[in-house]
Amino acid sequence: MATTNDLKNGTVLNLDGNLWAVVEFQHVKPGKGGAFVRTKLKNVLSGKVVDKTFNAGTKVDTANVDKRTMQYLYNDGTDFVFMDGDTYDQVPVSSAIVGDAAKYMLENTEAVVATHDGNPLFIELPASVVLVVKHTDPGLQGDRSTGGTKPAELETGATINVPLFINTGDKLKVDTRDGSYLGRVN
């Protein structure tokens, strides 16, 4: 048990039998009345996001979530197989749980796998990854680096928008949260 004063981003709460991860929180102390905590919670299983307000100091039930850094080994069709580097245990994680993170994972990529009672809940990739452009059309003569963007297919199969000066074979830094182009890597 914890109080709402102990909430942090990433904390997982057990509310009404469901697991909710704290996406963001804000302590509010109005001039009149008691303080409260405004939170944005994401259902760990369904991905649904809701706003919930708690009175300050209210006891909340925190779930015991084990987060471990694991190495992505391979995809066997329906599951992504991760290996714990300490115990060498292999953990299958369903594609529904991996979700959009699959667009930015290569074999041997490190990721944080969160489990509750041995069941995988979600995975967290690093904020950015370096991927190679598998294919993109060449920029046209007269195009400038500050001009528009064009689609580029990455080595993982994901397609992102990149500046016109990017060529096939370039290494790019990509934001794993929204799939945006962050820059070119040498």
* 6: three-class secondary structure by DSSP: helix
| pLDDT confidence of residue 2 | 85
Overall number of domains in the chain: 3
Residues 14 and 50 in one domain: yes
The pLDDT tens digits for 111-163 are: 999 888 888 888 888 889 999 999 998 876 565 555 678 899 999 999 999 98
Q: How many residues does the chain have?
A: 186
Q: Are residues 80 and 107 in the same domain?
A: yes
CATH number of 178's domain:
2.40.50.140
What is d(CA 47, CA 72) in angstroms, rounded to the nearest whole number? Answer: 22
What pLDDT, on a 0 to 100 scale, did the predictor assign at position 83?
A: 93
- The conformation of residue 99, written as its DSSP 8-state character, comes to G
* Cβ count within 10 A of residue 41: 23
Its pTM surpasses 0.75: no
- Boundary of a domain, candidates 41, 60, 79: 60
User: Do 133 and 158 fall within a single domain?
Assistant: yes
Q: What is the pLDDT of residue 145?
A: 52
Considering the domain architecture, whether residues 81 and 95 belong to the same structural domain is answered as yes
Domain with 41 in it: what CATH number?
2.30.30.30
Last residue of a domain, one of 74, 105, 124: 124
Structural domain boundaries enclosing 22: 2-60
- Cα–Cα separations (whole angstroms), residue 54 to 10, 17, 25, 169: 17, 17, 10, 51
Q: What is the pLDDT of residues 34-83, one digit of tens each?
A: 999 999 998 887 778 999 999 988 899 988 888 899 999 998 888 999 99
What is the pLDDT at residue 26?
A: 93
Which of 7-11, 145-149, 168-172 shows the lowest per-residue confidence on average (mean pLDDT)?
A: 145-149
Angle made by CA atoms 71, 7, 32, in degrees to the nearest 5: 155
Exposed (0-12), middle (13-18) or buried (19+): which is 89, by Cβ within 10 Å? exposed
- Kind plus residue range of the DSSP H or E element containing 50: strand 49-55
pLDDT recorded at residue 21: 87
**Concatenated DSSP letters of 24-47:** EEEEE--SSS--EEEEEEEETTT-
pLDDT band at 171 (very low <50, low <70, confident <90, very high): very high
Answer positive or negative: Cα dihedral of 164, 136, 156, 95: positive
